[in-house]
Structure 1
Amino acid sequence: MKIAVLIGSLSADSVTMKGAKVAIQAARTAGAEVEIFDLRERPLPMYDPEDEGKYEEENVKAFVELMTQADGFILGSPEYHNGISGVFKNALDFIGSTQFANKPVGLIASAGGPVATNTLNQMLTILRSLHAYVVPQFASVGYGVTFKEDGSFENQNMQERFEKVGRDVVNLVKAMKQSAEVK
């Protein structure tokens, strides 16, 4: 089982990625192979619906292929001006329901305030329109949340919440595959 991760932050010290790594580790522990598509290392061009050659670009090809092959996803975005980041939205414009329909997705965000509610709601709206199964547990890193040296959260409740996102994606993939086999 393959879980694809997309984090919409270009920050070298991304708080969103720090939180996502907790969920990623939980997904790996639950038995998933996890692959991160790092937009900082592999930038995508600006999406242009009229550019017929856009899918021939190396990073775009790799991104679309990863997202198509994935059984589930962990997606994250920092909250910029009460919404998802531009690079996150741009990346999603290259893919659609072909990649997300009937696949589990865990959502993670980070905020300059207590909770990235608007970002999580925007992500939920987008993923619902693409027919994904968004797991009910969301995870948000608020302002002032700290991490230990090993990458875990200082706050045990935060640690458990982010781990649950990773486990829930894996468990839903397993349940959906099992259900498909029964038919």
Structure 2
Amino acid sequence: MATRYFSNIGNLSNTSFDQPDFAPSHEAVVINCLLFASLGASLCAALVSVMALQWVMDYDAAITRGGSSPEDRAKRRQFRYAGVLNWKMGEVIAALPLLLYSSVVLFWVGVIQWMLIIHSTVGYVVAGGATMAALLYVITTLLAAVFVSAPFRTPLSRGIYRILYLTLS
């Protein structure tokens, strides 16, 4: 019996283990794409926000730097301000929230799909909460775009207001 046992142990090293090829499901690929796109958009927004802060600090330092006459400072300030306008720095900074908005949307779409696969009830609860938050955002944005006195003003609501004003005038 011991001879048979030890002879079988020797045979184990010759056997090969065939591992099946891994192929992720289509849903898993879609969910990962959504979540990583969300992460990428968030990181881009953070990076550009830090860069924008540096731009503004440099602009401020350049126009407030002492050691010259008021006329020289005014010329330097006008030169820098013309650069801000020509390079549309305000529009770049105003577009940053759109990156974050898209990141939030991508994230919640990915999480909702993931939860629906794991358990439909949990998925529907998460989808309901995300839908309520999205409705709150859309309603407040549209209110600010339609009613000038609404305090919910954002760059997006101002853009919608301009489009509505140009279209309806």
Report the TM range for the smaller structure's normalisation: under 0.3
Structure label with greater radius of gyration? 2
TM-score normalised per structure 1: 0.25
Greater relative contact order: 1 or 2 (C-alpha under 8 angstroms, separation 6 or more)?
1
Q: Which has the higher strand share?
A: 1
TM-score by length of 2: 0.26
**Higher helix fraction (1 or 2):** 2
